[in-house]
Structure 1
Amino acid sequence: MTNPIPDPLRYARDIARHIDRLAEHLIQAPPPLAAQIISEVLDPEEGILGRFTTLMATGSHFAKSHAEHGLLPPEVWLALGRAANELHDIGLDLDEHADTLRALAQAKPPGTLPAAPAASPLVVRKHR
């Protein structure tokens, strides 16, 4: 068994601050580095998204146990379970773009970038 975290609340806050710093780096990063950062974040085994999904699934198990004992409303358990499932689905959706991100991350100077597809307007769909 691993050693428990001395102050898990402080640890969670530190992780949140690190994610904020990473977002700042991402804003300023050149495209290959930004793609590499995003690839690392989205890596299903070692990335932040996968690990956060696992955290939500763990939270769902905690909430289920407490909801069964009447300590939490069942809606809390259901919401955490839904969040874990949605994050998992999002990870699957993003996984189909992993090769494209890795290719951009490995690109060298602008002259050696792979030919980009023709630019196209982005389509925004309304949910009704």
Structure 2
Amino acid sequence: MSHPTPYAVRLTDEITRRLGQLADHLSQLPPSQAAHVIARVLDPDNGVLGSITHLVATGSVFAKDQAERGALPAEVWLALGRAANELDDITLDLDEHKDTLQRLGAQPAASAAKAPAPAPLVVRRRR
């Protein structure tokens, strides 16, 4: 007799499926709604990115414990720790743009009397 799939695995599969649905919906939303959704996703305290960062950090704590017991190679713990730190840095970088996205998301679609001027794309990286 096979063992039923544990709740956490089913939950992980469901979250993954729902994130895929969200991405599909996002690609079809009008700009103001898409900006609103992105701002909510990027919210470091209550958003998807902050939650994923917390999940990876929790995984890193688990991996550290298992590495100290010899059940996992230390490289697994180090990689998860690096990933958690990088995600945290990314979350902080994106958080400074959350207000701009929220303002865009709060604008009614019909109020665009004057079309915004396109801005040149500039690559800038700050860490």
Give the structure-2-normalised TM-score: 0.86
How much is the aligned-residue C-alpha RMSD, in angstroms? 1.8
Distance in 2 between residues matched to 1:12 and 1:113, nearest whole Å: 44
Q: Which runs of 4+ in 1 moved over 4 A?
A: 112-115
CA distance in 2, matches of 1:114, 1:104: 14
1:100 aligns with 2:84: no
**What is the distance in 1 between the residues matched to 2:8 and 2:69?**
24
- Does the residue aligned with 1:28 lie in a helix, a strand or coil? coil
The count of aligned residue pairs is: 119
Question: Are 1:119 and 2:118 matched, yes or no?
Answer: yes
CA contact (8 A) 2:44 2:91 kept: yes
Distance 1:114 1:17 in 2: 39
SS at match of 2:13: helix
Percent sequence identity is 56
Q: Distance in 2 between matches of 1:49 and 1:109?
A: 26
Instruction: Verify the 8 A CA contact 1:104 1:113 in the aligned structure 2.
Output: no
The TM-score normalised by the length of structure 1 is: 0.85
